[in-house]
């Protein structure tokens, strides 16, 4: 076998599989070998070696038909927050460390139906609460570009799996930046879809008005293929949109590829006032490089205002903690999950199980959420935040009257050192400054890699779009990839 898998897109792999230049078993074996080789990165919580190989053999045996999905036979991984029937779903928490899924998440089901090989489930911040992937019951995920640094969170295991070539694509969830931040820290692409584009059925709930599953990949076409596979209405999640979804990969391949100039006329807004506090000068420099590349390609730029964006972080940490405190009330140690043995009565069973089953960050957020929802503080914090959220959304609606997309850095800095920010939660939260406005406004955002900083760590940028207009973001990202192929398709370890 001499096929260069790690530098191949899903489409190239699909072609090779169909032409029998490589077998699905060989492809799966290669990824499984790499997972073993790089297990110290701690990207996986569980790996399904035997099962994956059996599924791969079944794909080889049954072959391919004309209408098969491009994901058929492609090894993928899932953040350990997606239910996968008969397999553990731990959410990287002691609370769910023995929990076996009794049903499939819609994302899982759609992947299985398309013949993708789910090779394992990725490490993450406990219950998706974190920006660094240091808050996991299974230990921190290491950044493959520098193992002394964080991978970013909360979908850090998924990002590292893709970046290090331990799966072709992965799926994470994004509540306040959780696919985009780790993508930025590890030099890959990630999409936070419009709220309601991808089903949340079978995804362990953190903050229900913000959570959204999203794909992660090493290049734009893989990201599009991964998004196509799971997007669209789901009757099991009433918050998914009934709007028709059209294949983005098909659009890129059939309409954009070769006709790039036609799609380079859109206007990109830049909120200069928002690019100040806490932004690393090297990230700003890279931001300007991206502007130059897009400008050269034919895009126009316009200064825009997002006057309430600077309040987004405060609004986010009121709303996400309030929703989390409510969602996580279900973990009481009775029907499933960790049950403590240190109690004397029913209330003691609840509090002891929760205190010993949850990690520190989760307990901190439950406490903060309970506080902002409690009598005497509800109006001052929760209602106020919900009103400012409306203003943040209006700012975007106003901005999109004059531009088609908005460009922002994904993170204010490159990946920081492990342990650097864990003792000060507020400092950690500031890492989310550029990602949380997107979730509050329910809009889509595509994060892509740009240059590396002087610390040899990746920098990422994001394009924000109108509601349900992921297509425009993909068009721009595709053009960027054509202009700067050196920014994409990087595998962090050999």
Partner 1 sequence: MIIDNNTIKKIAQLSALDADDKQAELLAIQLSKILEHMKALDEIDVKGVEPMFFGCDDVHDMREDKVVPFDHSIIKKETRFIEKDLYSVPNIIEDEQ
Residues designated as active site: 79, 154, 178
Give the residue carrying structure tokens 């990202």: 477
**Closest to partner 1 by CB, 286 or 325:** 325
**Closest to partner 1 by CB, 201 or 488:** 201
Distance (Å) of CA 280 to CA 72, 214, 270, 434, 453: 42, 27, 17, 13, 10
- Shortest Å distance, C-beta 102 to partner 1: 5
Separation CA 162–CA 88 (nearest Å): 21
- Annotate each residue in 76-115 with x if it binds partner 1 (CB under 8 A) or - if it does not, as one string: -----------------------xx-x-------------
- Annotate each residue in 397-436 with x if it binds partner 1 (CB under 8 A) or - if it does not, as one string: ---------------------------xxx--x-------
Q: Of residues 18, 88, 233, 253, which one binds partner 1 by CB under 8 A?
A: 233
Examine residue 24 and tell whether it contacts partner 1 (CB under 8 A). no
How many residues at the interface with partner 1, by CB under 8 A?
72
- Residues β-bridged to residue 269: 302, 406
- Annotate each residue in 189-208 with x if it binds partner 1 (CB under 8 A) or - if it does not, as one string: ------xx-----------x
- Considering only residues 334 to 373 of the shown chain, the ones binding partner 1 according to CB under 8 A are 334-337, 339, 343-352, 354-355, 358, 363-364, 366-371
- Shortest Å distance, C-beta 44 to partner 1: 23
Nearest to 407 by CA among 233, 284, 311, 307: 284
**Closest to partner 1 by CB, 212 or 410:** 212
Q: Of residues 23, 209, 289, 472, which one binds partner 1 by CB under 8 A?
A: 209
Nearest to 154 by CA among 101, 214, 97, 198: 214
- Shortest Å distance, C-beta 369 to partner 1: 8
Separation CA 349–CA 351 (nearest Å): 6
**Closest to partner 1 by CB, 23 or 239:** 239
Q: Of residues 67, 242, 244, 456, which one binds partner 1 by CB under 8 A?
A: 242
* Cis previous bond, 45, omega within 30: no
CA angle 388–433–160, rounded 5-degree value: 135
Separation CA 413–CA 435 (nearest Å): 13
Separation CA 11–CA 14 (nearest Å): 5
- Binding part of the chain for partner 1, among 73-81, 142-150, 278-286, 379-387 by CB under 8 A, reads 379-387
Separation CA 6–CA 188 (nearest Å): 13
Nearest to 489 by CA among 34, 229, 162: 162
- 392 with 441: CB under 8 angstroms? yes
């Amino acid at each position: 076998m001499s096929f260069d898998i790690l530098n191949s897109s899903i489409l190239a792999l699909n072609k090779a599989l169909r032409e029998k230049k490589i077998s699905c078993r060989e492809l799966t074996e290669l990824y499984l070998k790499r997972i073993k080789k790089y297990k110290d990165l701690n990207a996986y919580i569980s790996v399904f070696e035997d099962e994956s190989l059996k599924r791969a053999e079944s794909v080889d045996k049954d072959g391919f038909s004309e209408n098969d999905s491009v994901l058929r036979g492609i090894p993928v991984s899932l953040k350990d927050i997606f239910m996968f029937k008969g397999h553990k779903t731990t959410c990287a928490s002691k609370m769910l460390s023995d929990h076996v899924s009794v049903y499939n998440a819609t994302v899982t089901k759609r992947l299985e139906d398309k013949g993708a090989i789910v090779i394992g489930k990725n490490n993450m911040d406990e219950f998706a609460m974190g920006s660094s992937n240091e808050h996991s019951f299974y230990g921190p995920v290491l950044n493959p570009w520098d193992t002394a640094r964080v991978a970013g969170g909360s979908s850090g295991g998924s990002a590292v799996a893709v970046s290090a070539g331990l799966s072709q694509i992965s799926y994470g969830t994004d509540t306040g930046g959780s696919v985009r931040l780790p993508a930025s820290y590890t030099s890959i692409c990630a999409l936070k879809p419009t709220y309601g584009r991808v089903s949340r059925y079978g995804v362990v709930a953190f903050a229900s008005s913000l959570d959204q599953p999203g794909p992660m990949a090493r290049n734009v076409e893989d990201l599009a293929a991964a998004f196509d596979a799971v997007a669209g209405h789901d009757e099991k999640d009433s918050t998914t949109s009934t709007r028709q979804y059209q294949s983005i990969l098909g659009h890129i391949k059939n309409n954009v590829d070769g006709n790039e100039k036609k799609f380079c006329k859109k206007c990109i807004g830049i909120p200069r006032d928002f690019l100040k506090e806490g932004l690393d000068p090297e990230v700003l420099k890279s931001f300007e490089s991206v502007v130059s590349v897009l400008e050269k390609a034919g895009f126009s730029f316009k200064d825009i205002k997002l006057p309430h964006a600077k309040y987004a972080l405060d609004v986010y940490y009121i709303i996400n903690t309030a929703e989390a405190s409510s969602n996580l009330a279900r973990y009481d140690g009775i029907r499933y999950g960790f049950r403590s043995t240190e109690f004397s009565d029913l209330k003691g069973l609840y509090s002891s199980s929760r205190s010993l089953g949850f990690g520190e960050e989760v307990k901190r957020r439950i406490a903060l959420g309970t506080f902002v929802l409690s009598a005497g503080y509800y109006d001052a914090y929760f209602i106020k935040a919900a009103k400012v959220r409306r203003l943040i959304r209006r700012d975007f609606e106003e901005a999109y009257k004059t531009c088609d997309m908005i460009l922002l850095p994904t993170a204010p800095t490159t990946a920081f050192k492990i342990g650097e920010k864990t003792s000060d939660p507020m400092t950690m939260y500031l890492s989310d400054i550029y990602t949380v406005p997107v979730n509050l406004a329910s809009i889509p955002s595509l994060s892509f890699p740009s240059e590396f900083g002087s610390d040899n760590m990746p920098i990422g940028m994001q394009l924000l779009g109108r509601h349900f207009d992921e297509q425009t973001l993909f068009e721009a990202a595709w053009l960027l990839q054509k202009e700067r192929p050196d920014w994409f398709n990087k595998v962090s370890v050999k």
